[in-house]
Amino acid sequence: MRQRSGDQGYGAGEGPTAATPPVGPEGDGRRASTVRVFVALAPPDEAKVELARALAPAYAAYPHMRWNRIEDWHITLAFLGELPRAAVPPLHSPLADLAASRGPVELALHGAGHFDERVLWSGIGGDLPRLRLLASDVRTVVKECGIPFEDRPLRPHLTLARARRADQDSVVAAAAGLAGFTGRGWPAARLHLVGSDFGRGPGPIRYRDLESWAFTGP
């Protein structure tokens, strides 16, 4: 299975281990003063493997596309953008409280599509009303913490790949090949606060959980 670099804030490249120190913009080992942050859900491993198998023909046919690592596939609920590091810890407690008040959200990966013939994605099925309510409440928490961000309408999806500049056809063809995919249902069991201070500069963007919390409510 091919694993390739991600796109601008919606995928990932070669990911670090938990022990890997953060790096500065030049990749010289200095700790960056800001971190790009989003709040997300993540499919379980079995759902990701199921989709990766369905993607095998596209991996083989379009190796030049910038494929996201399956380890970093996620469903973004709120993209907060570039934040000072000091702005991140105050999010922990209210997001933990929110997760503790909710039960898992039943979801599934379903079909495929593209944004502007450039970004390939898999659609999300399942309990979408509950997913939208969760996203709304996450964004309320972020606003109450005094963090400004672009509150775009939620379009639930999982980003898979991005086309390279001169490629006009691969994403559309890959989306058509995956259009009939219907994955098994699964419970989204944790709320993830994710940062991408790894891989700044010309290399791939890298992601890691800053924190995550189990949904333990009703």
Provide the annotated active-site residues.
Answer: 74, 157
Q: Which neighbouring-strand residues pair with 109?
A: 124
**Rounded Cα distance, 25 and 43, in Å:** 30
Spatial CA neighbour of 55 closest among 17, 106, 96, 112: 112
The residue written with tokens 């046919």 in the block is 61
If phi > 0 it is left, if psi is from -120 to 50 it is alpha, else beta; for residue 163 that is beta
Q: Residue 186 class from Cβ within 10 Å (0-12 exposed, 13-18 middle, 19+ buried)? A: buried
